[in-house]
Structure 1
Amino acid sequence: MPELPEVEVVRRGLATLVPGRRISGVTVHHPRPVRRHLPGPDDFAARLQGEVFDQPRRRGKYLWLPLADGDAVLAHLGMSGQFRWHTPDAATADLRGEVPVHRHERVTFDLDDGSRLVFCDQRMFGGLSISDGGAELPAEIAHIGVDPFDPAYDLDRAVATMRRRRTQVKRALLDQTVVSGIGNIYADEALWRARLHWGRATDTLSRAKTYELLGHAADVMAEALAVGGTSFDALYVNVNGESGDLNIDVERVEGSRVLERRDWQCRASVLRRQAILWSDLARRALTEQLDGPTCSVAHRRNCGSRIMRGATCA
């Protein structure tokens, strides 16, 4: 799922293109991406007719396009959502049938200068909706905490909140009400840099370690922003269809190097690269094929791999 850096890259791209553009027409090609707009696709299209876009904004993983009348188009990219920009020449070529329509095009905004803003979503877990009076901050996401790049971000408060939670540290990192914008990719990288196991209880963390962890989370997201986001998934693209350049080592995304660092010899770790994206069925089959006693609870915890947890070891 696109996380803060990938969504911020999209916001920055839109910020150079849509402010001041008037919507001349909206076409909803599939109803699912506007399912959160309860009045339906026809109402979604009709209400946006003639509206003018203002400066795009973001909180955490949510993006919204404020409108001049005080409302906003609220967007969540889900797993594969994209905003793609078509220049007036490209949009005209589209209309003439000279350019094939994107197969996952879901909603099209025709703008007054002849350009087009297209929302594409292969898996359709993302979506768009109209937030009444949401230009400043949509009520639908007002409960979400601020992120490390928001001027209102209070690191001291975030540290205190995390240490009060009685949960696992990774769960706390993913809790968008504590610090928003952090997802699996950057949470795992921050934990790796802080040398923390994902299952560590938050109320056992020292204040200094919590500061260090949140600092790493901010650092890795800043690094991703500097290079246009992660290259982990080809669906994470900017408005021009270009992927980012951050390449996070998939071996340590699941904590498998913790196992290597302590010199444990886990036969299942040999296949960790392939196992990262395997289904539960494939993992069960692998478990049945390997020899040796079942991993102990201590080994499972220290291994740090939620994918290979329970696999057998030599």
Structure 2
Amino acid sequence: MPELPEVETVRDGLDRLVLGARVTGAEVFRDYSVRRHDGGPLSFADQLRGQRLVGAARRGKYLWLALEGPGGRVSAAMLAHLGMSGQLLVRDPAVAGEWAHPHLRVRLHLESAPSGARYLDFVDQRTFGHLAVADLAPTPDGAPGGFGSPLAALPEPVVHVARDLLDPALDRDALVDRVRRRRTGIKRALLDQTTVSGVGNIYADEALWRARVHFARATDTMTRPVVRRVLDAATEVMTEALGQGGTSFDALYVNVNGESGYFSRSLAVYGQAGEPCPRCGGLIRRESFMNRSSHFCPRCQRRR
């Protein structure tokens, strides 16, 4: 599933390529892809028609495009969650021809996009992703709703999602205390999007390896410096991944231009079971964890 760096790569592309464009129409080719929109496919298309795309924002793994109506009011957004395989692709048919992806689910028709694009396509092979038009709600703390947005508002379905580690408005001291109050394992805390958002299985494993902390270590036994070390490692690894366009293992994750990220070449432990640890040479181990896997070095990350 795309995590924060992959979603931020897409958000950045949308910010550069489609902001300022007006939506002249929307086509829904698979109703399930707008299942979270109140009113169904026809309502989804009606609420987008005539709106101008004025902001691209992200909180954790969610991203949204702020919508400005004919009167200049910004009170709603098109919210996107990429799920397991969702892609938002910016297309200019004048260059690419009348191209249609075999897994095209939703298409927005645009005019006056700065890139010359006429289509914003939502492609989703496994169909776990979704789009919806949602009203904006005030942020509980009065700070901007997400990375890339100056508005102290965010889509109503995202209000419960915590700020992420790259959000300038994040209170890191409060987050450290929140993690230590949890009675759970540190990896479970990192994956809980109501505690801190944007971290998934890949970057949790990489961060814990960098911090030399076992994934099952109890949060209520960790000191503040150790918790901060884990959070700093997660911030560091996701920032590095952003510089390489995110992590791609196949053609399912790409940016808005259809290009894959390259951070998979820099992974120390995730997917490296049986390989030597880059730090100590011990063999990386894989263990089942929450219906998925944890990858770690048993020598560097001893279980207490």
TM range (shorter): 0.7 to 0.9
- In the alignment, does 2:175 pair up with 1:158? yes
**Gap runs ≥5 in structure 2:** 70-74, 138-150, 300-304
Summarize deviations over 1:238-267 as a string: whole Å, max 9, x none. Answer: 100001111256672268579976968x9x
Tell me, yes or no, if the aligned pair for 1:258 and 1:302 is still in contact at 8 Å: no
Offset at residue 233 of structure 1 (A):
3.9
Summarize deviations over 1:102-130 as a string: whole Å, max 9, x none. Answer: 00100000112461100000001010011
Offset at residue 209 of structure 1 (A):
0.9
- In the alignment, does 2:24 pair up with 1:24? yes
- In the alignment, does 2:76 pair up with 1:71? yes
Quick one: which amino acid aligns to residue 74 of structure 1?
L
Tell me, yes or no, if the aligned pair for 2:206 and 2:267 is still in contact at 8 Å: no
Equivalent residue number for residue 118 of structure 2: 115
Offset at residue 56 of structure 1 (A):
0.6
TM-score by length of 1: 0.78
Distance (whole Å) between structure 2 residues aligned to residue 212 and residue 143 of structure 1: 26
Distance (whole Å) between structure 2 residues aligned to residue 255 and residue 246 of structure 1: 14
Structure (1 or 2) with the greater strand fraction: 2
SS in 2 for 1:10: helix
Equivalent residue number for residue 90 of structure 2: 85
SS in 2 for 1:242: coil
Equivalent residue number for residue 230 of structure 2: 213
Larger-gyration structure (1/2): 1
Distance (whole Å) between structure 2 residues aligned to residue 233 and residue 204 of structure 1: 39
Q: Which runs of 4+ in 1 moved over 2 A?
A: 133-136, 231-234, 247-251, 254-264, 301-304
Offset at residue 204 of structure 1 (A):
1.2
Quick one: which amino acid aligns to residue 131 of structure 2?
L
SS in 1 for 2:269: helix
**Relative to 1, partners in 2 of residues 1:302 and 1:13: Cα closer, same or farther, differing over 3 Å?**
closer
SS in 2 for 1:12: helix
Count of aligned pairs:
269
Quick one: which amino acid aligns to residue 198 of structure 2?
G
Quick one: which amino acid aligns to residue 242 of structure 1?
E
SS in 2 for 1:46: helix
TM-score by length of 2: 0.81
Quick one: which amino acid aligns to residue 242 of structure 2?
L
Tell me, yes or no, if the aligned pair for 2:22 and 2:111 is still in contact at 8 Å: yes
Distance (whole Å) between structure 2 residues aligned to residue 179 and residue 23 of structure 1: 33
Distance (whole Å) between structure 2 residues aligned to residue 238 and residue 216 of structure 1: 25
**Gap runs ≥5 in structure 1:** 281-300, 305-314
Tell me, yes or no, if the aligned pair for 2:108 and 2:119 is still in contact at 8 Å: yes
SS in 2 for 1:78: coil
Q: Which 10-residue stretch deviates more, 42-51 or 1-10?
A: 42-51
Equivalent residue number for residue 50 of structure 2: 50
Tell me, yes or no, if the aligned pair for 2:79 and 2:155 is still in contact at 8 Å: yes
**Relative to 1, partners in 2 of residues 1:193 and 1:248: Cα closer, same or farther, differing over 3 Å?**
farther
Tell me, yes or no, if the aligned pair for 2:59 and 2:197 is still in contact at 8 Å: yes
Offset at residue 143 of structure 1 (A):
1.4
- In the alignment, does 2:180 pair up with 1:168? no
Q: Where do 1:166-205 residues align within 5 Å?
A: 166-205=183-222
Equivalent residue number for residue 41 of structure 1: 41
SS in 2 for 1:137: strand
Summarize deviations over 1:138-181 as a string: whole Å, max 9, x none. Answer: 11111111112211111111111111100011000111122111
Question: Which residue, 124, 128, 131 being the options, matches 2:127?
Answer: 124
Quick one: which amino acid aligns to residue 217 of structure 2?
R
Equivalent residue number for residue 103 of structure 2: 104
Quick one: which amino acid aligns to residue 11 of structure 1?
R
Percent identity reads 50
Structure (1 or 2) with the greater helix fraction: 1
